[in-house]
Amino acid sequence: MTDTTKVVEHYDRGDLRGRIASALTAAGLDGKQLTPQDLSPLDQFHVRGLASTIEFAGAVGIERGTRVVDIGSGLGGPSRYLAATFGCQVQGIDLSPSFVEAATYLAERSGLSEKVTYECGDALALPVDDESVDLAWTQHTAMNIADRGLMYSEAFRVLRPGGPFAIHDIVAGIGELHFPVPWSAGPTTSFLMTPQAMRTALEKQGFRVRSWVDRTAEGIAWLGEIRAAAAAVVGPPPPLGLHVVLGSEFPVMAGNLARNLQEGRASIVQVVLDKT
């Protein structure tokens, strides 16, 4: 079994679109054109959720009508935010067929099907033409990718000259991770790089660093707030949340992520680079 297959199996847990549709009904959102705020508990599949996406977009400095490739687009929360807020034309690429199906459904429910499209594809062989996009964007994706040099070279290939590459990811610290975590059940599909190794690999491909910000402290605080809110809930969890995607193991995964960040085994970086 390939690592790619194992990665897909981690995320594909059966009838994701159906589970999401049921969750939206339970949340009282039937018949409503959905907004990024409506969906944010569910489709912002990264630390600090929609707030992080908004902050990240501000750091990039996105212009209206920007052509974007979202590498590892997941359920499409960031791509739909970019389309709804800036009028971006976004092509989302993800390994998981169930995520692509669900993201397409949510784009329809959000009235954004003409702005965002999703397809199955590999970050190591993007189905995107050379120098055809203005912005390459990725949030919490590279942790599942061993060949980081090839991933970064693909982003470089599809970007127009001078275009930005925006990365929000979890990076390696000191010591082994506690598993499971949201992106992996164990070490066979988890490939964190240290910040220095990541920076070296990016600069080797021809990217110039515009900004490099550590967001670990904010991530730890946010995860603490999430755990406190969950502990205060009596009865079942709210209809919308990442438990809809990852099932009953998600609280354990989130708890291990928080512990890894607190113990310095991992950290979070927000990076904006430019293609030279």
Percentage above 90 pLDDT, the chain: 90
Q: What is the pLDDT of residue 230?
A: 83
Q: What is the pLDDT of residues 213-240, one digit of tens each?
A: 999 999 999 999 988 988 888 888 899 9
Q: What is the pLDDT of residue 13?
A: 78
Q: What is the pLDDT of residue 1?
A: 39
Mean pLDDT value across residues 160-177: 98
Q: What is the pLDDT of residue 14?
A: 81
Q: Choose the weakest-confidence range: 92-106, 186-200, 219-233.
A: 219-233
Report the alpha-carbon distance of residue 219 to residue 174 in Å, rounded.
Answer: 18
Buried b (16+ CB within 10 A) or exposed e, 197-225: ebbebbeebebeeeeeeebbebbbebbee
Report the alpha-carbon distance of residue 159 to residue 134 in Å, rounded.
Answer: 6
The Cα diameter of the chain in Å comes to 53
| Class in CATH terms, 3-275 | alpha beta
pLDDT band at 248 (very low <50, low <70, confident <90, very high): confident
The answer to whether 244 touches 22, Cβ cutoff 8 Å, is: no
Q: What is the layout of strands, in order, in the sheet containing 67-71?
A: 116-120, 89-94, 67-71, 135-139, 164-172, 266-275, 207-214
Which residue has 């512990």 as its token pair? 259
Is the bond preceding 180 in cis, omega lying within 30 degrees of 0? Answer: yes
